[in-house]
Amino acid sequence: MTASYETREHDVLIIGAGGAGLRASLEALAQGASVGVVCKSLLGKAHTVMAEGGIAAAMANVDTADNWKTHFRDTMRGGKFLNNWRMAQLHAQESPDRVRELEQWGALFDRTETGDILQRAFGGHTFKRLCHVGDRTGLEMIRTLQDRGVQQGIDVYMECTVTRLLTDNGRVAGAFAYWRETGRLIVFKAKSIVIATGGIGKAWRVTSNSWEYTGDGMALAYEAGAELMDMEFVQFHPTGMVWPPGVRGILVTEAVRGEGGYLTNREGTRFMLEVDPKKKELSSRDVVARAIYKEVQAGRGTEHGGAYLDVRHLGADKIKKKLPSMYEQFLRLADVDITKEAMEIAPTIHYAMGGLRVDAETGATTVPGLYAAGEAAAGLHGANRLGGNSLSDLLVFGRRAGEASAAYLREIELGTIDERQIADEQQLLLLPLVGGGKENPYLLQQELQQAMQDGAGLAREEKSLKACLDRVLELRQRSARIHVPGTRKYNPGWHTARDLRFMLTIAEAIVRAAIERRESRGAHWRLDYLEKDPALGRLNFIAYNDGGRVKLKTRPVPEMPPELARLFADSASPPPASQPPAPKPPTPQPVRT
Ligand SMILES: Cc1cc2nc3c(=O)[nH]c(=O)nc-3n(C[C@H](O)[C@H](O)[C@H](O)COP(=O)(O)OP(=O)(O)OC[C@H]3O[C@@H](n4cnc5c(N)ncnc54)[C@H](O)[C@@H]3O)c2cc1C
């Protein structure tokens, strides 16, 4: 079964038009490359647009003592030292310039009284560090990058989904995609590709993430031979809406606590005073999420199983000025006026710290010509991301990946695409429309979301994770028998069928890694292994494709050079001491499938 397809050619193909993809495309263009940007949704609608609280950068506009070293320290501590230290260093050093650049391109940030970019407090950051535009920072960032991209001449392919990377002798040569509206097929030829497709939050039932977050880019690259890293680390944001049921999971930005919001339990106790007397509500997300979970387990939760988040003491004027989206969100969706009533919140899945393993300087994956940046890439955040560090990640590493992908062109010719790869993907993609299966893609997606919620949620243990893995593997088998009525013309069931395959691959990698990490660290909370294991603290888990099976191996966390390690000398939480010989890997190695 083959269908016709159109062909387009670019030097660099960027998959994803969020902050990372747009920043990468601007840099590749600046290097003289012809750049194509493909995105599933409309330009300007990427997930980045939803970002609220701000961009972390040590500009020292409000707290003058801030500097890159403190930002670096905070990021490493937040990530429980599983981070790639070099990425954390580059990120801390380069974020201020990336923010200034955004401002030069037209981004209008909130201001201090002296006219500098205003910065607010956020969890885990020592100083007020988040540059923001009220609670609509992502919108301003996307608007600015997109305007500049269009002006500079990027070619954008909107509402177009990439379903397979095409390779030539192991290096990337292009990508196969379809137009969501018409179902027509398209092949992109490219010398290099940047994956900037974001995360996988739609694999859980309660999520702050948009419909686009089905792990596509991670799975595309993994299937082409790239390695995934730290997949077990998935962040639960402490504050998602809980009521009414239709809005459960929608984010309540950390800016609410950054501006001075309190968390209380049903009895009115401000429990974070006891959990973290120093940072209180601005403790890191893993700590706050667990504290809320424990309050609920102890019977002190709210009516709908969460905690209260209260900003009434800030006064109506400040609330409406600094948190306008939150004010409107609760009024419209929950009929709650947050200037008069407390918000009801509970943890919601939010961010993937894991993703593609990349080179710190360039974003190169292990597949020649393939780069990754943004939430689709791993390394910067380690076991837990600090709020605000994603938007700066997109700018710093989007730029670096764009630059490196363009530089790569100078070394190579366009690859040759084997028609068999195209025919194989066509067959897989069109199967739900023509095959004789009976499975419904929406029901399978719901089953996956429930399985991940139950088994790979905030609190995990061996039994729940193994049960979850069994369900994921069963769903993988059933997904081969999906049937979707209708044609290729705008058919959301057919889109879901393909997305589901990506989600199942990545879900399997997450659960397998979560089983093997027998310790609690950062966002990964194991009820059966409550402590950190120092040996595991020196290892990243890598998932790779072994002939269609997800296998795991370990890699030592890159060791920090002494001049950076010294930054933690007086710290209560120093980095793991240098310690040859290397610790034993976890069992079993590799994991059986
Ligand atoms: C509600 C909310 C608020 C947040 N607030 C903040 C904040 O204040 N500060 C902060 O630092 N972080 C915040 N985050 C996190 C941050 O927004 C994201 O991590 C970040 O925007 C991800 O950007 P990205 O460029 O990696 O991906 P995205 O912006 O998600 O872009 C992904 C792109 O890939 C495209 N794509 C995906 N799959 C395919 C495919 N198969 N084919 C073609 N295109 C594809 C999509 O269409 C999209 O264009 C927030 C997240 C949420 C959900």
pLDDT digits 0-9 by tens, 65-75: 999 999 999 99
pLDDT per residue as tens digits for the range 532-564? 999 999 999 999 999 989 999 999 999 999 999
Over range 471-499, report the average pLDDT: 97
The pLDDT score that the predictor gives to residue 572 is 63
Residue 108 has a CB neighbour count (10 Å cut-off) of 11
Query: What number does the ligand 1 atom closest to the CA of 54 have?
Result: 8
Write down the pLDDT at residue 359. 98
CA 390 to ligand 1: nearest atom:
11
pLDDT of residue 436: 86
**Run of H or E including 370:** strand 370-372
Nearest CA to ligand 1 atom 27: 198
φ, ψ of residue 248 in degrees (nearest 5): -55, 130
- The one-letter amino acid code at 94 reads E
For residue 346 and ligand 1, the question of a CB distance below 6 A is answered with no
What is the CA(377)–ligand 1 centre distance, in A? 12
* From 25, 47, 210, mutation site for ligand 1 pocket: most ligand atoms within 8 A of C-beta: 47
374 CA → ligand 1 middle, Å = 8
State the pLDDT at residue 409. Answer: 85
Query: What is the token pair recorded at 363?
Result: 């974003």
User: For residue 400, how far is its CA from the centre of ligand 1 (angstroms)?
Assistant: 18
Average pLDDT over residues 298-314: 95
Nearest CA to ligand 1 atom 3: 51
Torsion-angle region of 486 (φ positive above 0: left; ψ -120 to 50: alpha; else: beta): left
Beta strands of 219-325 (E only): which ranges? 228-229, 234-241, 262-264, 307-310
| Closest-CA residue to 452 (of 234, 294, 297) | 234
pTM of this structure: 0.94
Q: 252 CB under 6 A from ligand 1? A: no
Q: Whose CA is nearest to atom 6 of ligand 1?
A: 51
Q: Which ligand 1 atom minimizes the distance to the CA of 393?
A: 11
Ligand 1 centroid, distance to 527 Cα (angstroms): 30
pLDDT at 590 over 60: no
Sign of CA dihedral 395, 149, 400, 503: positive
H or E element, residue 105: none
Residues above pLDDT 70, as percent of the chain: 96
Q: 38 alpha carbon to ligand 1 midpoint, in Å? A: 14
For residue 584, the model assigns a pLDDT of 45
pLDDT at residue 9 above 50? yes
Beta carbon of 575 within 6 Å of any ligand 1 atom: no
**Spatial separation of the C-alpha atoms in residues 508 and 469, rounded to whole Å:** 7
Alpha carbon distance, N-terminus to C-terminus of the chain: 31
Tokens of 207: 């999520």
Q: Please tell me the residue having the least CA distance from ligand 1 atom 12.
A: 390
Closest atom of ligand 1 to CA, residue 251 = 1
Q: How confident is the model at residue 1 (pLDDT cuts 50, 70, 90)?
A: low
Count CB neighbours of 369 within 10 A. 26
Ligand 1 contact, 38 CB (< 6 A): yes
For residue 547, the one-letter residue type is G
Q: What is the DSSP letter of 496?
A: H
Q: Is the pLDDT of residue 334 over 50?
A: yes
Backbone angles phi, psi at 120, to 5 degrees: -120, 165
Quickly state the pLDDT bin for 580 (edges 50, 70, 90). very low
What is 459-525 written as a DSSP string?
Answer: EE-HHHHHHHHHHHHHHHHHHTTB---S-STT-HHHHHHHHHHHHHHHHHHHHHHHHH--S-BTTBE
Residue 49 DSSP class? G
**What pLDDT band is residue 33 in, cutting at 50, 70 and 90?**
very high
Mean pLDDT within 331-355: 96
The reply to whether ligand 1 has any atom less than 6 angstroms from the CB of 197 is: yes
Structure tokens of 449? 């979301």
For ligand 1, what atom is nearest to the CA of residue 209? 53
Among candidate residues 411, 494, 496, the one with its CA nearest the CA of residue 211: 496
pLDDT of residue 586: 45
Q: Is the CB of 351 under 6 A from ligand 1?
A: yes
Atom of ligand 1 nearest to the CA of 48: 21
Q: Which two tokens stand for residue 36?
A: 């194509």
Q: What is the pLDDT of residue 573?
A: 66
**272 alpha carbon – ligand 1 mean position (Å):** 30
Cα separation values, 413 from 189, 194, 408, Å: 11, 17, 10
CA distance 222 to 200: 14
Cα–ligand 1 centroid distance for 14 (angstroms):
14
Testing ligand 1's pocket by substitution, the residue of 38, 42, 48, 193 carrying the most ligand atoms inside 8 A of its CB is 48
- Extract the tokens encoding 494: 């057919």
Q: Quote the CA–CA distance of 423 and 1 in Å, as a whole number.
A: 8
- The residue length of the chain stands at 593
Q: Is residue 249 in contact with ligand 1, taking CB distance under 6 Å?
A: no
Confidence label for 591 from pLDDT (cuts 50, 70 and 90) = very low
Query: Does 373 have pLDDT greater than 60?
Result: yes
pLDDT at 3: 78
Using a 6 Å cutoff on CB, does residue 355 contact ligand 1? Answer: no
Active site residue ranges: 237, 257
Is the peptide bond preceding residue 238 cis, with omega within 30 degrees of 0?
A: no
DSSP 8-state class, residue 122? -
CA of 480 to the centre of ligand 1 (A): 28
Q: Which atom of ligand 1 is nearest to the CA of 388?
A: 11
Ligand 1 atom with the smallest distance to the CA of 162 is 42
Atom in ligand 1 nearest the alpha carbon of residue 398: 25
Ligand 1 site, residue 37, Cβ cutoff 6 A: no
**At a CB cut-off of 8 Å and minimum separation 6, what does 420 contact?**
none
For position 577, what pLDDT does the model report? 61
Contact between residue 571 and residue 587 where contact means Cβ atoms under 8 Å apart: no
Counting DSSP H helices and E strands in the chain, the numbers are 16, 20
Compute the distance between CA of residue 37 and CA of residue 316 in angstroms, rounded to an integer. Answer: 42
pLDDT grade for 490, boundaries at 50, 70 and 90: very high
> Ligand 1: distance of its center to the CA of 176 in Å?
22
Q: Residue 581: what pLDDT? A: 41
Ligand 1 site, residue 212, Cβ cutoff 6 A: yes
d(CA 461, ligand 1 centre) in Å: 29
pLDDT tens digits, one per residue of 116-155: 999 999 989 999 999 999 889 999 999 999 999 999 999 9
Half-sphere exposure of 540 (CA within 13 A, CB side): 31
| pLDDT for residue 2 is more than 70 | no
| Residues 380, 397 contacting (CB under 8 angstroms) | yes
| Span 417-451, pLDDT tens digits | 999 999 999 999 999 999 889 999 999 999 999 99
Query: Does the pLDDT of residue 363 top 50, yes or no?
Result: yes
DSSP H or E stretch at residue 543? strand 539-546
> Is 39 touching ligand 1 by the criterion CB < 6 Å?
yes
Contacts for 411 with CB less than 8 Å, ≥ 6 apart? none
**Helix/strand/coil for 209:** coil
Nearest CA to ligand 1 atom 31: 18
Residue 45 predicted with pLDDT over 60: yes
Write the CA distances from 448 to 330, 429, 461, 552, integer angstroms.
Answer: 29, 20, 18, 21
Distance 47 CA to ligand 1 centre (A): 4
Ligand 1 mutation pick, 71, 197, 329, max ligand atoms within 8 A of CB: 197
Residue nearest to ligand 1 atom 9, measured at CA: 388
Condensed to tens digits (0 to 9), the pLDDT of residues 223-274 reads 999 999 999 999 999 999 999 999 999 999 988 998 999 999 999 999 999 9
